[in-house]
Amino acid sequence: MSYIVLARKWRPQSFDELIGQETVRTILRNAVKQGRIGHAYLFSGPRGVGKTSTARILAKSLNCAEGPTPQPCNNCQSCQSITEGYAVDVMEIDGASNNSVEDIRDLRERVKYAPSLGRYKVYIIDEAHMLSASAFNALLKTLEEPPPHVVFVLATTAPQKIPVTVLSRCQHLPFRRVSSREIKEHLSRITEKEGIAISGAALDMLVRAADGSMRDALTLLDQVSAFTEEINEDSVRDLLGLSDMEMVVAVTDAVLRGKRKELLELIDQAYEKGMDPRTFYRDMLQFVRAFLIAFLTDGANLEELPELEGSYIRDNLKTVTEESLSLLLSELARKEGEVRTGFSPRVALEMILLRASYLRTLRPVGEIIKRLQQFDSALPEASAPSPLPAKETAPAEDTETEGEDNAPPEPSHSPEAGETTPSTSEEGDVESAWEDLVRRIEEEDTILASKLRVAVPEIEDNSLNLVLNGGHALHSDSIRQNISRLHRAIKEKDHPLFRGIQKIEVVKKKSQTQRKGLTRQKITPAEEKIIKTLGGRIIERRKINVQEDVR
């Protein structure tokens, strides 16, 4: 007798043997037991999870000599003919090669005839999503009201391609991927009964490569068992081109600890061993995902992981943070296309992992806030908000000055007899008066006001100079076109500092002038402590209106 591959030899022959589909198994068994059998079913799910096998088991349950029964005997003529694939009342149709209207018309003619041996005629349409739109339309009426002796089972891996009109006429039973634990247990039973010697690590690699497909797992087991009598981790890796998970774990550890030199050495070692960067990257992505899930669920998924990965995650759960794992997984998922389609996958892999290794230097926002709170005691008391009203609060010293050029203008004339010299608190400084003026203009023209707000006002005799530093100089032409509006606003505002203004000029200055002026200023003890602890440098000093900040 010719050899039968494991995927066919160990195909489930009853609902009890169906692995990983408890919901589907319960629904169909109860339907047969209660006599509430639907006229059309749609089985959807990934490849190799038991859709066609379940359809055959359903056909056995309906046509078994002891049935209809949820436990087919697998010994009667009807059960054996369905198992061996020559039952005349169970027709399996390939939707990819029988997708025309003519094929559906032929099917509609055949459903009229009663079954030859059993109670039901079962039509199993595999890859049903491959039927053409015209074929689906031709099937609708028959699918909705078939003869009482006909049951349709449509199987597909792409349920989104099935028309809604067809979905509404079927009972939809989605199949899920088989869990790694269930695949491993089933493969262990099969290897024991088949006398196949395989190590636990090699079995874990087969389970990972199967990716939730029981049929793929059995096919891979068949392949490696023909390759060697003693199946170990190295033979599986060499035959299937899988990644060395020990190397994947080591590289992930180097990324999390920020050991960049060690990271490059590990990648070089893996590459010398024939590593495929794309496969390596995908396995690392899955490992980091499992690490994050274990962190969030307190290790609930560790039992499903291989021993090597599970032990590493268990030992390092307390050495990582949720933020570091989330950022690493996000970075790997976002850059996956660069490795998969890049000109040099190895270079792309190295650069992505090097960038990811810098993520450990980031700090949670809560930690930064806590560190900032430590500076409260170092700040001078004068910086605390004053509870006094605005008119009683002396203006803070202008730390934005750049030397003598921006010193407050001296009065252009001495006060005459009877003339009252306005106090500083009444007039405010030039910048406060300028801010009031900009607010008035903002009521009419917000765009012009936004440009005026970046200008630094300087008063020289009867001239108002608007200084634009660095990149702000691009607003000079627009401001010049609105000089007349500025004169009108100054006249309406009638501020003491602007009463003698007869000329307004726009002046451009390079930003380096401002920076040089700032560097000459003395650094306060509070600033020095902040710079030393958090790092950085002073780029700009801004005056804060303390009273407005309190409000």
d(CA 127, CA 156): 5
Question: Could you tell me if 144 and 279 lie in one domain?
Answer: no
**CATH number of 148's domain:** 3.40.50.300
Higher pLDDT, 54 or 426: 54
pLDDT higher than 50, residue 351: yes
Share of the chain above pLDDT 70, in %: 83
Name the residue type at position 99.
N
pLDDT higher than 90, residue 12: yes
Which residues, other chains included, contact 477 with Cβ-Cβ below 8 Å and sequence gap of 6+? none
Higher pLDDT, 1 or 123: 123
Q: Is residue 343 part of a domain?
A: yes
Question: Could you tell me if 292 and 267 lie in one domain?
Answer: yes
pLDDT higher than 90, residue 190: yes
3-class DSSP state for residue 437?
helix
**CATH number of 299's domain:** 1.20.272.10
* Of the candidates 106, 107, 114, the residue with the CA atom closest to the CA atom of residue 147: 114
pLDDT at 363: 67
Share of the chain above pLDDT 90, in %: 30
pLDDT higher than 70, residue 224: yes
Interior/surface letters 39-63, b for 16+ CB within 10 angstroms, e for the rest: bbbbbbbeebbbbbbbbbbbbbbbb
> Cα dist. 289→310, 325, 330, 386 in Å?
13, 8, 10, 52
Per-residue pLDDT band at 428 (split at 50, 70, 90): very low
Question: Could you tell me if 96 and 213 lie in one domain?
Answer: no
> Given 194, 213, 240, which residue is the final one in a domain?
240
Total count of domains within the chain: 4
pLDDT at 377: 52
Q: N- to C-terminal Cα distance for the chain?
A: 92
Summarize pLDDT for 43-80 with one digit per residue, the tens: 999 999 999 999 999 999 999 988 789 999 989 999 99
Task: Average the pLDDT over 236-265 and give the result.
Answer: 86
pLDDT at 244: 78
Question: Could you tell me if 197 and 212 lie in one domain?
Answer: yes
Per-residue pLDDT band at 408 (split at 50, 70, 90): very low
Residue-wise DSSP of 297-325: TTSTTGGGS-HHHHHHHHHHGGGS-HHHH
Question: Could you tell me if 223 and 252 lie in one domain?
Answer: no
Q: Is residue 367 part of a domain?
A: no
pLDDT higher than 50, residue 422: no
d(CA 124, CA 152): 6
* Owner of token pair 């004053």: 386
pLDDT higher than 60, residue 153: yes
Task: Average the pLDDT over 433-441 and give the result.
Answer: 83
**CATH number of 519's domain:** 3.30.70.2210
Higher pLDDT, 102 or 497: 102
Task: Average the pLDDT over 123-143 and give the result.
Answer: 91
Task: Average the pLDDT over 322-336 and give the result.
Answer: 89
Question: Could you tell me if 97 and 19 lie in one domain?
Answer: yes
Q: Is residue 167 part of a domain?
A: yes
pLDDT higher than 90, residue 534: no
Name the residue type at position 534.
L
Residue 490 half-sphere exposure toward CB, CA atoms < 13 A: 20
Per-residue pLDDT band at 171 (split at 50, 70, 90): very high
Under 8 Å between Cβ of 10 and 179: no
Token readout for 347 is 């270079």
Summarize pLDDT for 363-407 with one digit per residue, the tens: 666 667 777 776 655 555 444 444 444 444 344 444 343 333 444
Q: Is residue 440 part of a domain?
A: yes
Residue 426 half-sphere exposure toward CB, CA atoms < 13 A: 7
Q: Is residue 63 part of a domain?
A: yes
Taking all residues of the chain, what is their mean pLDDT, rounded to a whole number? 81
Domain that holds residue 51: 6-174
Q: What is the largest CA-CA distance in the chain?
A: 128
pLDDT higher than 80, residue 251: yes
> Given 361, 378, 410, which residue is the final one in a domain?
361
Question: Could you tell me if 38 and 151 lie in one domain?
Answer: yes
Task: Average the pLDDT over 183-204 and give the result.
Answer: 89
* Beta bridge pairs of residue 197: 230
pLDDT at 30: 93
> Cα dist. 85→59, 78, 90, 418, 432 in Å?
12, 11, 8, 119, 92
Task: Average the pLDDT over 223-234 and give the result.
Answer: 84
Under 8 Å between Cβ of 357 and 327: no
Q: Is residue 196 part of a domain?
A: yes
Summarize pLDDT for 456-468 with one digit per residue, the tens: 888 887 788 888 8
Question: Could you tell me if 202 and 264 lie in one domain?
Answer: no
Residue 243 class from Cβ within 10 Å (0-12 exposed, 13-18 middle, 19+ buried)? buried
pLDDT higher than 90, residue 151: yes
Residue 508 half-sphere exposure toward CB, CA atoms < 13 A: 10
Summarize pLDDT for 501-524 with one digit per residue, the tens: 878 888 877 544 444 444 456 677
Q: Is residue 535 part of a domain?
A: no
Question: Could you tell me if 207 and 251 lie in one domain?
Answer: no
Higher pLDDT, 243 or 27: 27
Under 8 Å between Cβ of 170 and 41: yes
> Given 330, 346, 361, which residue is the final one in a domain?
361
Question: Could you tell me if 67 and 100 lie in one domain?
Answer: yes
Q: Per mean pLDDT, which range of 126-135, 228-237, 412-421 is the poorest?
A: 412-421
Question: Could you tell me if 261 and 227 lie in one domain?
Answer: no
Helix residue ranges, H only, 10-76: 22-34, 51-63
Question: Could you tell me if 93 and 120 lie in one domain?
Answer: yes
Q: Is 274 left (phi over 0), alpha (psi -120 to 50) or beta?
A: left
Under 8 Å between Cβ of 129 and 158: yes
Per-residue pLDDT band at 90 (split at 50, 70, 90): very high
Interior/surface letters 129-163, b for 16+ CB within 10 angstroms, e for the rest: bbbeeebbebbeebbeebeebbbbbbbbbebeebe
Higher pLDDT, 368 or 166: 166
d(CA 173, CA 534): 58
pLDDT at 380: 53
* Helix or strand holding residue 509 (H, E): strand 503-509
> Cα dist. 174→22, 57, 171 in Å?
11, 16, 10
Q: Is residue 539 part of a domain?
A: no
pLDDT at 42: 95
Which residues, other chains included, contact 320 with Cβ-Cβ below 8 Å and sequence gap of 6+? 256, 291, 295
Higher pLDDT, 191 or 391: 191
**CATH number of 218's domain:** 1.10.8.60
